[in-house]
Amino acid sequence: MNLIRALARKGLRVFSLEDAFETLKEQGLSESYAKKVLILIARKGDLQVLGNGLYGLPTDILSGGPLHPFEIAMKIVKKGAISHRSAMFFHDMTDQMLRTVYVTVPRVEEANLSTKSTYTIQKTLFQVKRVNSEKFFGVKRFFVGDAPVWITDVEKTLLDGLSDPSLCGGFREVLHAFSKSVDAMNPQTLHSYAQKSPIVVSKRLGWVLEKLTLFSDLQQKLEESPIKTLQKLNPTGPRKGHANRRWMVMENI
């Protein structure tokens, strides 16, 4: 139980084999012996075996409540952020919490660079979306119970929905998220993020803001972004619908 107490002191509610090895090395134990200790402790039922090389502290010594799937996600990907529909749920943009946790991960050495896109742990599906590092922005540190978790902020979550609504419950669910987030959106942040996004996302954003009669100054800035061809409003929908020339989008919803 010395290992468990040492991990608890470090605040490691969820930990990997690597974390356990590092902790035991500090006590002068070799990696091979540390692995044997960990296996024995797990077999006795003094650890939660989560799978994919992850373990959790026993429930009776967990402070701050039981393990949350978001905590587990942070250990799977190391440098990612909860995103898309999972972030929508966290920010109260949707009432539907699914058994899938969506995580965005930058392609950097410190992150999980595996090509694997799905993990299943404790009957929860974790879906990983990997992006180039310049597209990984708009993430903030929040707390889920006592656990620190990185999550895309309100504005980035909404723009992710416009970019890839299939990970957010569909385009209409994204529109609903915008309507629920009217008081939480910051127009300056939206504009900053839109400038880092593909132009078509800026045009979709302008269309949504016009429908909600929000941020007329921002609408004007978004309208000025040059685009030559009509793009689909809903990227997952059919290529047909009314041509909105102001926003250069095909209203395919």
Instruction: For the full predicted model, state whether its pTM sits above 0.85.
Output: yes
Averaged pLDDT score across all residues of the chain: 89
pLDDT digit string (tens) for 158-193? 999 999 999 999 999 999 999 999 999 999 999 999
Contact yes or no for 154/64 (Cβ under 8 A): no
- pLDDT per residue as tens digits for the range 19-28: 877 777 776 7
pLDDT digits (tens, 9 = 90+) for 134-164: 999 999 999 988 789 999 999 999 999 999 9
Architecture of the 2-61 domain: Orthogonal Bundle (1.10)
Q: Where are the alpha helices (DSSP H) in the chain?
A: 2-9, 17-25, 31-43, 69-77, 84-90, 154-163, 171-180, 187-195, 199-211, 216-224
Q: Mark 4-27 as b/e (b = at least 16 C-beta within 10 Å).
A: beebbeeebbbbbeebbbebbeee
Rg (the chain; Cα; Å)? 22
Q: What residue spans define the domains of the chain?
A: 2-61, 68-153
